Amino acid sequence: SYELTQPPSVSVSPGQTARITCSADALAKQYAHWYQQKPGQAPVLVICKDSERPSGIPERFSGSSSGTIVTLTISGVQAEDEADYYCQSSDTSGHVFGGGTKLTVL
């Protein structure tokens, strides 16, 4: 198994761009997925396979990958985007989640 490393927190002002990273050597070969979790709610998939946006997710959410780092980008951040964000990936033994990043909208 391996670990996915995320920054504990990211802060941005409304309308700015937030970038949250997730890193691991395994990400050079494995896809990553991103989940948004608001207080008291179950996680919601916002990006799958590094950069695909599921149906119903706003276009301001995007994802990218470069080597061992994947990035979740939220363009034009809104107050409602304040939440915890988790990356997730998989290997032959199962699934791993990053430690989570708390996005604060100032």
Task: Tell which residue, 67, 62, 76, 72, has the closest CA to residue 17.
Answer: 76
Distance CA 38, CA 26 (A): 28
Is 90 near other proteins (CB under 8 A)? Answer: yes
Is 9 near other proteins (CB under 8 A)? Answer: no
Residue 19 or 95 having the CB closest to other proteins: 95
Please state whether beta strands 9-12 and 101-105 pair in parallel, antiparallel, or not at all (unpaired).
parallel
Among 5, 7, 26, 48, binds other proteins (CB under 8 A): 48
Is 45 near other proteins (CB under 8 A)? Answer: yes
The residues near 92 (Cβ < 8 Å, ≥ 6 apart) are none
Is 63 near other proteins (CB under 8 A)? Answer: no
Residue 45 or 69 having the CB closest to other proteins: 45
Instruction: Please count the residues of this chain forming the interface with other proteins, following the rule CB under 8 A.
Output: 22
